[in-house]
Amino acid sequence: MSRSTTAPHPTGQVDGSPTARVTPTEQTGSPLFAELVWAHHLYESERRRKRNANGTLQALETAYLDKLHEFQKKAGRLEHVYWSTKGASAVAMTVKEVGSRSRRWLGHLGPNVLEHDEHIELHRLSDWVTSDAPRVADLLHECDLLAIRVGEVLRGTSERIAMRSILGVQAHLLGFVERTKPLPHETEAKLVQEQHDHLAEVEAYYHRAASRAGRLVYITGMLMGLAPLLLLGALLGLSVWMFGVWAEHLDLVLLCASAGAIGAFVSAISRMGKPEKGKFNVDFELGRPLIRRLGLYRPFLGAIAGIALYFFLASGVAQVTVTGEQEGAYYGFAAFLAGFSERFATVMFGTAEKRLSPSD
């Protein structure tokens, strides 16, 4: 007896019998996953019958291995999988290496210097088993949504841990439904509640790991903005000195710009200890490029604040007079405070506004 190795249409019968109930299918992940699950289901069903009529078992095994090769070629290495034994359903996790230009430039040093990036994805085909368990199906869908957030935000070890934990919840749900048929409503409710609590723990871990990852990405952006800013100031000062065109107080302006940028960097670093208390919060679901860009702008804002504060103090509006050797230290420290503390800069600029345009 020959069987088609093509997955049936969502409105077709699962076991090929005319009395089989028609059930819908829901799939997440690669579109090739349904073909792989169906090929595995046919092969396992024939193997459990312990017969090999006309080489059917070998043909089904070959078809399954071909589908597996095709799936892994497109979606990545199949690292963890749970196959349903009573229906064409499964949940799986694939890992695919993501090459980058920087890693290719650095060669073997790339994995040690740069962030190890992998594309981890969960795949699920379960409605043929969970058609009589709507609450379980809904919780499986919540798992899919959390997996999407984890895959977009986390990287490396934390992403693997979160994805593997989500897969564990899905595999437990699928296996329990398989073992307990028919599934009483009370049992289903208890099962869903227990696994929902586990999923909540995974989500809490995701928030903690994503918060730390967001802060690290923000620091990377600040370093990317601080390095060219300091280099630009050094080159500008060196060029002016070499050509002998040195404007009055240009050294103090460059000093205040550098001090303000460093102050902004130190301020962000010092407030990253406990972001849950509101000292430093980054919306990690903005995405890594945008968070890195926000960090990139921070030193420039600090430099602008430092320069602005220098002009305010040097103009005499604040009625402060500093001469001699104290100028560099005084203006540099004031610029550092302007970049370090937004409150200090706001107070100083507010004072300047009141003096320049006094109210009635």
pLDDT tens track for 205-228: 999 888 888 888 888 888 888 888
Give the range with max mean pLDDT: 81-95, 108-122, 160-174, 291-305. 160-174
Mean pLDDT of the chain: 78
Mean pLDDT along residues 311-319: 74
Mean pLDDT along residues 42-50: 83
Q: Give CA separation, 54 vs 10, 38, 58, 156, 179, in Å.
A: 30, 21, 9, 48, 33
- Other beta carbons within 10 angstroms of residue 68's beta carbon come to 15
3-state secondary structure of 341: coil
The yes-or-no verdict on residue 186 having pLDDT over 80 is yes
pLDDT of residue 288: 81
Residue 255: exposure state from Cβ atoms within 10 A (0-12, 13-18, ≥19): buried
The yes-or-no verdict on residue 299 having pLDDT over 90 is no
Q: CB–CB of 333/276 below 8 Å?
A: no
pLDDT of residue 83: 92
pLDDT of residue 229: 80
Mean pLDDT along residues 95-117: 58
Instruction: Report strand pairing: 27-28 vs 77-83.
Output: unpaired
Give the range with max mean pLDDT: 86-90, 105-109, 195-199, 333-337. 195-199
pLDDT tens track for 158-167: 999 999 999 9
Q: CB–CB of 299/265 below 8 Å?
A: yes
pLDDT of residue 94: 93
CA distance 90 to 333: 63
What radius of gyration, in Å, describes the C-alpha atoms of the chain? 31
Q: CB–CB of 296/268 below 8 Å?
A: no
CA angle 346, 352, 353 (to 5 degrees): 85
pLDDT of residue 319: 65
Percent of the chain scoring above 90 in pLDDT: 21
pLDDT-derived band at 111, boundaries 50, 70, 90: very low
Which range (182-196, 213-227, 267-281) has the least confidence?
Answer: 267-281
Mean pLDDT along residues 74-92: 89
pLDDT of residue 199: 94
pLDDT of residue 110: 47
pLDDT of residue 15: 45
> Which tops the pLDDT comparison, 67 or 294?
67
- Sequence spans of domains, the chain: 27-183, 215-356
pLDDT tens track for 147-159: 999 988 888 889 9
